[in-house]
Structure 1
Amino acid sequence: MSSPVATVGILSIGEMGMGIAKLLIAHNFRVVTNVEGRSEDTRIRAQNAGVEIVPDDTSLVAESDYILSIVPPRDAFYIATRISAAFNARSPPKATPLYYLDLNAISPSSARSIAELFTTKSPSIKFLDGGIIGGAPHPKPEASSAPPNTTTVSSHPPTTSTWQKPSIPICGDISSVPASFSNLSETLGLNHISDEIGIASGLKCCFASLAKGFTALCIQSFTTASNLGVLPLLLGELEQRMPGMMKSAGGVTGMPPKAYRWVREMEEISQTHAEEGGFPSSSSKTPSTGGIFTEIASLYKVVAEDTILGEEKTERRKRGRTIEDVAAAMGEGLAAKRKKKE
């Protein structure tokens, strides 16, 4: 086998991280991760994806040409701080620059804070701001299907597969990137949209406003309709009169394992609309001026903390696999919460 194009560190190997890892490995990149302190599920995901596990952040920094941060939004700054500290702890110092791509769902101001961290603490780390719009990469069915009675030996998709990829806008200075960046960009489908840090994160937040904001509306509508006993009628009306909306509503069933991540994401979106769009947002100084995405964050917090849906894991789905069951589980959780308050 030829030498890897480059080594990419990924933090962390969740559903999206695993998809990106498989895509990179299929195109001759070496992928490494650190699962120190993470769950056994994360370790298994990494191993199943063919990712090499390194013992700590210092090793991750030493091995990597690029690091992709794909973590819950609440952890974005913490992970950047960890990598900065590990980079600075290298002895002797790392000879070549390390490119750090923050692909998390954070606000432009949060992205700028991370950029400032690296500029101040670790100027040899080159920061690029990004966002992921769409689902995890996967081989298109028509490209990966095997003939009947064919035995599949490897779990890793062939490099000749045609992949379904999300959009990944990025911004920042790419005037002096290494030669391997072109291959990385082509493989992942990176789209450089600006030299100004924060623009890509802003685009991601605006898109997620629509996609996950709509999912929140569906959760409320379907739950109330279920409580009223008219959910089948509501779904029938949607199917007949708004089939496009009904198709989009299918995202409700993929939501449960991600709800805990979306709480902070909605808060970052609220911050984006306040700071970049001029809309009201919540703050400790003026808690009564919360915007609509502050309320949506509260809804996802209810899903994550007050219903059985919050216990769902991507690898082991039990509840919420249909719209009807999401609505039923929400109704159960909200009823139990009301009972506790009485």
Structure 2
Amino acid sequence: MQKLFIIGNGFDLMHQLPTKYVHFQNFLRENFEYTPDTFESLWVEGQQLPDGDIVYNEDDVVRVIDSLISQTDYKDSDWNDMERSLGLLDYSLINDDITDVYDKEGTLHPFHTGNNYEDAYSDLKEVLKMFPHFFKLWISSIDIENSVTFKNHCFQELIDVKNDLFLTFNYTETLEILYNAENITHIHGIRSEENSIIVGHGNDDTVDEGIYHEDFYTNEIHHFLRKPTQKIIDENHLFFSSLRNITQIYSIGFSFSEVDLIYIQNICSNIDTQDITWYLNIHIDDQGNDNRKERATYKEHIINCGFKGDFDTFELA
């Protein structure tokens, strides 16, 4: 009997690690010098070095990232759904910082105005392409060995560290450090590996053509911040093809967000799910309420992804 464990951020939170997106927000606001929730310019101009490279002031870059995420249509002051927000950024907010150019007769000069738009949106693209860098800084700052004071013994007794498979959406080494688990796939990368962190939205929409062709830059930004799920699946085909002996699936701290359902679909398409039991974790919050409604939603998502087996629950007391 081989089990598959699908591990989400709730697993790290269960171990009292500061891995909520609000902790990322706090990290930025505590480690960089800027005032959040202000209406400063979103146009950050780069400075050219003697070797020709263009650099941007990191405090200003973080301020722009913070401002755009915090002003999305899906606004949440705690950034609880930050990845979705990345797909809803309102790039046009920078237009307030761009000067229109007029000729002597007071007629708008489209060519020179267009140049200003091109410069502003080009800088905005470079600024937002630095987002993964700051995300990695935050993830790398989380100290597991000195922060976690306990192991979950129910989880430790449930797993077979040498035989079971682990699909984790976390960037941390919690499974490795605390439980010595071996067969782990970090589907979105791991912080200890250079350039492996993947974070982003799942919005396929593109931006309509702008008057000054600013959509050329905004669509490039939008694509850069999008999670390349199909590429990720292709690169992890060995994992998905190794699931044929799975008889039980456990999901822990995983919220089944829309952008990540493609991975569940691939799990279900690679195994005969009719004889498999999927165990959903019962979570009790600080007020004594369990996640009954969330489990019902998760079950619906799993069925829609092609799962035809049974469901059960388990609790990590």
Relative to the length of structure 2, the TM-score reads 0.30
Structure 1 or 2: more helix by fraction:
1
- The higher-RCO structure (CA 8 Å, 6+ apart) is 2
So what's the TM-score if we normalise by structure 1? 0.29
- Which protein shows a greater Rg? 2
